[in-house]
Amino acid sequence: MINIRPMREEDIGGVMIIENEVCDFPWTPGIFSDCIKVGYTCSVLEENDEILGYGLLSVTAGEGHILNICLQPKRQRQGLGTRLMKHLLEQAQILKSDTVYLEVRVSNKGAYDLYRKLGFNVVGHRKDYYPSTTGREDAIVLAKSLK
Ligand SMILES: CC(C)(COP(=O)(O)OP(=O)(O)OC[C@H]1O[C@@H](n2cnc3c(N)ncnc32)[C@H](O)[C@@H]1OP(=O)(O)O)[C@@H](O)C(=O)NCCC(=O)NCCS
């Protein structure tokens, strides 16, 4: 059975295996730990105690921000990212967020398509926002109103 629950410190080892496998520029364990400590919404999606993916959301002064979302490579394209995103959007609503923002690499067409399907709209462009294997890469900024 697949369920979504809060991320705990002891999950970070399993989270880092996915993060290191999927991302060219992975977050460090300390970043995940800090997000838990400051009280951001940090969620893991698991099946029979195995972490399949995770998503993190911060909400400040009515503004939500999806900080990270990632699935094991072999569990992508099975609707789990959609499920995790819907969970984070529900949490954002509970935390009285009016709008949720996120950034995505211009090259990440799959994630971009997922966000557009979930009702996010393009609201900006940040030049050279991300490190990339060839230098820097631009970000597309998307937002979804929850009002
Ligand atoms: C992006 C990510 C979270 C999406 O989760 P997912 O479980 O694979 O996505 P879903 O199965 O819910 O896909 C929903 C829709 O999004 C789009 N989509 C998602 N991944 C896609 C891909 N790799 N290529 C093309 N379209 C994709 C499709 O429209 C898809 O619908 P379809 O499968 O019916 O065509 C996941 O692929 C992932 O972890 N990628 C690596 C990390 C990453 O890029 N994170 C986002 C950083 S901004």
64 CB near ligand 1 (under 6 Å): no
pTM: 0.97
**Measured from the CA of 102, which atom of ligand 1 is nearest?**
48
Among residues 74, 75, 76, 87, the alpha carbon closest in space to that of 118 is found at: 87
Range of the domain at 89: 2-145
Among residues 71, 37, 66, 40, the alpha carbon closest in space to that of 54 is found at: 71
Structure tokens at 33: 């730990």
66-103 as b/e: b if 16+ CB within 10 A = bbbbbbbeebeeeebbeebbebbbebbeeeebeebbbb
Q: Do 64 and 50 contact (CB within 8 A), yes or no?
A: no
Please report, in tens digits, the pLDDT of each residue of the chain (147 residues total): 999 999 999 999 999 999 999 999 999 999 999 999 999 999 999 999 999 999 999 999 999 999 999 999 999 999 999 999 999 999 999 999 999 999 999 999 999 999 999 999 999 999 999 999 999 999 999 999 999
- What are the catalytic residues? 103, 115
CATH of the domain at 130: 3.40.630.30
Looking at the structure of the chain, the number of domains it has is: 1
Structure tokens at 60: 């400040």
Distance 10 CA to ligand 1 centre (A): 27
Residue type, 35: C
